[in-house]
Amino acid sequence: MSEKFKLSHDEINLFKNSIGNTKKLKQDTVIHKPIKRTPQSIAIQKQQHEKINTEFYFSDDYHPLLQEDPIRYSREDADPNEIKKLRRGFYDPEFFLDLHGLTLAEAKKEISALIAACLQERAHCACIMYGHGKNILKKQTPMWLAQHPQIICFHQAPKEFGGSAALLVLFDISNELANNP
């Protein structure tokens, strides 16, 4: 050590007196056995991970260009006929999600869970019902959906599926992200 960092005996004694009676800690080493992962546990963990990550697609600050009255959106690379098919009721929803009475945070989690479930089950179409109420969920839901890369398009639902209080959503289940179970 250099002379600059040497302590005098008085300084060392002062330090020992200030910390009091202490004992040296005994370091014990714990070796953890590796967890054996089965294909089933890996699939469950991946599903939970996808469910959590899906929620991060949704920003509350992003405002996509949406066509209103009726509410509709189509991805840039999507076939323009798909949104017409949704409007005319060509697709029957395989999953239904009712957001009545939920807060924005709860609704965001439920929508992300719905998307994960639809992609896992390879469901092509889903219906999200948000109701009329104060129009908070009606305004925010399309903004969240437009941000997700697996959503081809969505349109205000036909009357039999909720009309102006619901959306029909079309998913891109052919994408590689959806194909990996």
- What would the pLDDT profile of 7-41 be if each residue is shown by its tens digit? 888 988 888 888 888 877 787 888 888 878 888 88
pLDDT of residue 68: 75
Domain membership flag for residue 114: yes
pLDDT of residue 125: 94
Domain membership flag for residue 10: no
CATH number of the domain residue 53 falls in: 3.30.1370.110
Cα separation of 71 and 99, whole Å? 17
Q: Quickly state the pLDDT bin for 179 (edges 50, 70, 90).
A: very low
Q: How many domains is the chain partitioned into structurally?
A: 1
Domain membership flag for residue 33: no
Domain membership flag for residue 6: no
Q: What is the mean pLDDT of residues 148-155?
A: 90
Residue 126: which domain range? 39-179
Domain membership flag for residue 22: no
Domain membership flag for residue 4: no
% pLDDT > 90, the chain: 20
Cα separation of 117 and 150, whole Å? 12
Cα-Cα-Cα-Cα torsion 12, 18, 23, 27, nearest 10 degrees, comes to -80
Say if residues 89 and 160 touch (Cβ distance below 8 Å). Answer: yes
What DSSP assignment string belongs to 15-66? HHHHH-S--PPPP----PPPPPPPHHHHHHHHHHHHHHHHGGG--SS-----
Give the tens place of pLDDT for each residue, 32-77: 888 788 888 888 887 777 666 655 667 777 677 777 778 888 888 8
Q: Quickly state the pLDDT bin for 176 (edges 50, 70, 90).
A: very low
Domain membership flag for residue 18: no
Domain membership flag for residue 31: no
pLDDT of residue 33: 82
Amino acid at 110: E
Instruction: Give which of 141, 91, 72, 73 is closest to 112, Cα–Cα.
Output: 141
Cα separation of 64 and 15, whole Å? 63
Give the tens place of pLDDT for each residue, 111-133: 988 998 898 899 999 999 998 88
Give the tens place of pLDDT for each residue, 162-173: 888 999 999 988
10: tokens are 């008085």
